[in-house]
Amino acid sequence: MQTRVIQMEDGKENGILIRSVKSKPFPAKLLLILGLFLAFALTVFVISVSTIKYTGLQSVVTTVTSGFVTCREDEPNSLSKWIQPPAVLMHNMSDEELLWRASFWPRRKEYPFQRVPKVAFMFLTKGPLPLALLWERFLKGHKGLYSVYVHPHPSFTAKFPATSVFHQRQIPSQVAEWGRMTMCDAEKRLLANALLDISNEWFVLVSESCIPLFNFTTIYSYLSRSKHSFMGAFDDPGPFGRGRYNHNMEPEVPITKWRKGSQWFEINRELAATIVKDTLYYPKFKEFCRPACYVDEHYFPTMLTIEKPMALANRSLTWVDWSRGGPHPATFGRSDITEKFFEKILDGKNCIYNGRNTSMCYLFARKFAPSALESLLHIAPKILGY
């Protein structure tokens, strides 16, 4: 009701404006007609006021505004335009335009509508999603609490049935290369598109080889109750940490704030906006962190350590196995998927959650080969709870 009343007042103001602008050059006859019209309007107004007295405000407001309801969809300033997520994810905005648009930021703490915060799952992929069926099962029954975004290689077009959670969730994409700024650009593109939905509150970056380790309810409550965002960020004094630092990045990026971390993060809306709005650190990293400085391991952890250190848990929620050595982590296939394997992941460590010790350190795991799908679907209800 409140929005309707506001719209009605807007309409009135427009009318007055037009009238006062046009009235000057009018001939006398028209002025007379105008005068008669004003008298008529005044009469209607007086009658309305007395009607309000006798029949109550409610009914009059409804009658008067009903004429405006038909225009609501075209109303450029209606609140719904700001609340409704874009119906179509594909758009023609350049990255520059998108980042600008996504950096709009409400300054008031309270939302003037019922906002149910959602988890945005952002899939950074090469192409197909071989584990899609597992994710479908994980998300089933939780509509309204999540949204899905897919950034594949630009030559790839995903085809999912209308019933799928991945149906038409592809965003405009560009080539992303490991260890290069184009990878951070892709992650920023995912964040920016997801920020366009005002209800997205937590932003989880995953790949096509990631799986959830718990049911949706558990993951939602872990994220929503956390006081911190989960971005891996540590100070590595060795050649693969501080050794990659370039002093040309000073003074914006001092070496004491130089951090390293896995690219798979979970951040809240405030941090997502901080990343999307950044124009200060970006040029420094783009110019001075090139292979063998792998920018996707340093840019976000370092800039957030400078900008919002207290908001960071400094650990990632995504389990990965580097124990086999080499430049790539282990990939697990059909024969690896056993109860023992998951026991090791789910109960192997101790970490801090909201200042307390917990053994629940990871909510997601990678990397899983397409061949693992069947075994995962089989084991998920018993071990992973979905």
Ligand X SMILES: *[C@@H]1O[C@H](CO)[C@@H](O)[C@H](O)[C@H]1NC(C)=O
Rounded to the nearest 5 percent, the helix, strand and coil shares of the chain are 45, 10, 45
Nearest distance from residue 227's CB to ligand X, in Å?
Answer: 8
Cα–Cα distance, 250 to 295 (Å, whole number): 16
Residue numbers at the binding site for ligand X (CB under 6 A): 90-92, 215, 217-218, 228, 305, 309-310, 312-314, 350, 356-357, 385
Nearer to ligand X, 290 or 308 (CB): 308
Nearest distance from residue 187's CB to ligand X, in Å?
Answer: 20
Q: Which two tokens stand for residue 368?
A: 């899983």
Q: Are 267 and 230 in contact (CB under 8 A)?
A: yes
Q: Are 350 and 212 in contact (CB under 8 A)?
A: no
The HSE-up count of residue 83 (CA atoms within 13 Å, CB side) is 10
Nearer to ligand X, 228 or 260 (CB): 228
Nearer to ligand X, 177 or 347 (CB): 347
Nearer to ligand X, 200 or 261 (CB): 261
The end-to-end CA distance of the chain, in Å, is: 41
Q: Of 260, 244, 256, 321, which is closest to residue 296 (Cα–Cα)? A: 260
Nearer to ligand X, 181 or 265 (CB): 265
- DSSP string computed for 60-74: HHHHHHHHHHTTGGG
Nearest distance from residue 380's CB to ligand X, in Å?
Answer: 11
Task: Give me the phi and psi of 202, to 5 degrees please.
Answer: -125, 135
- DSSP string computed for 22-36: HSTT--HHHHHHHHH
Distance of CA 18 to the CA centre of its chain: 41
Nearest distance from residue 311's CB to ligand X, in Å?
Answer: 8
Distances in whole angstroms, Cα of residue 95 to Cα of each of 113, 140, 279:
30, 32, 13
Residue that is written with structure tokens 């872990």 in the block? 222
Nearer to ligand X, 173 or 314 (CB): 314
Nearest distance from residue 360's CB to ligand X, in Å?
Answer: 10
Nearer to ligand X, 158 or 181 (CB): 158
Nearer to ligand X, 128 or 309 (CB): 309
Q: Are 342 and 379 in contact (CB under 8 A)?
A: yes
Nearest distance from residue 305's CB to ligand X, in Å?
Answer: 5
Nearest distance from residue 340's CB to ligand X, in Å?
Answer: 19
Cα–Cα distance, 370 to 359 (Å, whole number): 29
Nearest distance from residue 55's CB to ligand X, in Å?
Answer: 48
